[in-house]
Amino acid sequence: MPLQTVEPKRLYRQIAEQLRSLIAGGEFPPGSRLPAERDLAKQLGVSRPSVREALIALEVEGWVEVRTGSGVYVLQRPGQLNGHAPKIPPNEWGPLELIRARRVIEGEIASLAATHAKSRHVKAIADALGQMKDDTAREVQPLDGDRAFHTAIAEACDNVVLLETVQTFWDARRGPLFERLGNHFETVPSWRMAIAEHELILGAIRTRDAAGAREAMQAHMDKSHARFSASWRRAARSKTQTTDRLRAGT
């Protein structure tokens, strides 16, 4: 059964459905390794990030196992016939697609914040960044501080639609696809890089540099996308290096 090109509507779900059908039909038996992301992307006529989102969805649902540094392997699925296999909510956004949307919208929000922020807004943004730093120093994922940072920027715009949009983005950040992607690619070094990017955003808002705030937010989203799009092999090295540092107490 040949792979078919797909249309860009909930793209990762369409890709996952094709791969799921091939696995169920025996094209890729349990224990076999799926083709590399680049090969799947070429055969399907889609981007590698879209393929990655589909593979993460299949991993969450228990069809495959992602082994960083090795590849994606098909699993035995004893629960698939009795309906017990987990399912991705049909309205869940793809994580990498979400980051690209945030780049557009939150870039403009940062620009507005630089123009309209009052001292209390700037303090709230700075406090959230401080929370991120404290959590990272304790090697805790700084998600609460990150959410507070982006929310405080939106609050500075004095527009409830923009605020609720950012909050919706963050609700999606808690979804199973994004959380699984983060398990593979988020490390203490990556959080520190994100914090440095947040500092640039805060600096531009403090100085009322609207263009600089927009550019800093867009650069942050671009770098976030790149971190989540890194090769599985690079992710494996990063995870190993982080583990080694923790064991050494550094």
Taking alpha carbons only, the member of 152, 229, 217 closest to residue 190 is 229
| CATH classification (class only), 95-248 | mainly alpha
CA dist 108 and 209 (Å) reads: 12
Measured CA to CA in angstroms, residue 54 lies from 28, 49, 137, 221 at distances of 16, 9, 33, 21
Digitized pLDDT (tens) for each residue of the chain, 250 residues in all? 567 665 545 789 899 999 999 998 889 999 999 999 899 999 989 988 889 999 999 999 899 998 877 889 999 875 554 555 567 777 888 889 899 999 999 999 999 999 999 999 999 999 999 999 999 999 999 999 999 999 999 999 999 999 999 999 998 888 888 888 888 888 899 999 999 999 999 999 999 999 999 999 999 999 999 998 876 656 545 554 544 443 334 3
Q: What does the H/E/C string look like for the chain?
A: CCCCCCCCCCHHHHHHHHHHHHHHCCCCCCCCECCCHHHHHHHHCCCHHHHHHHHHHHHHCCCEEEECCCEEEECCCCCCCCCCCCCCCCCCCCHHHHHHHHHHHHHHHHHHHHHHCCHHHHHHHHHHHHHHHHHHHCCCCCHHHHHHHHHHHHHCCCCHHHHHHHHHHHHHHCCHHHHHHHHHHCCHHHHHHHHHHHHHHHHHHHCCCHHHHHHHHHHHHHHHHHHHCCCHHHHHHHHHHHHHHHHHCC
Biggest CA pair distance of the chain = 62
Q: In the chain, where are the structural domains located? A: 11-74, 95-248
CATH 1.10.10.10 for domain 11-74: yes
Contact between 223 and 193 (Cβ < 8 Å):
yes
Backbone φ and ψ of 25, nearest 5°: -85, 0
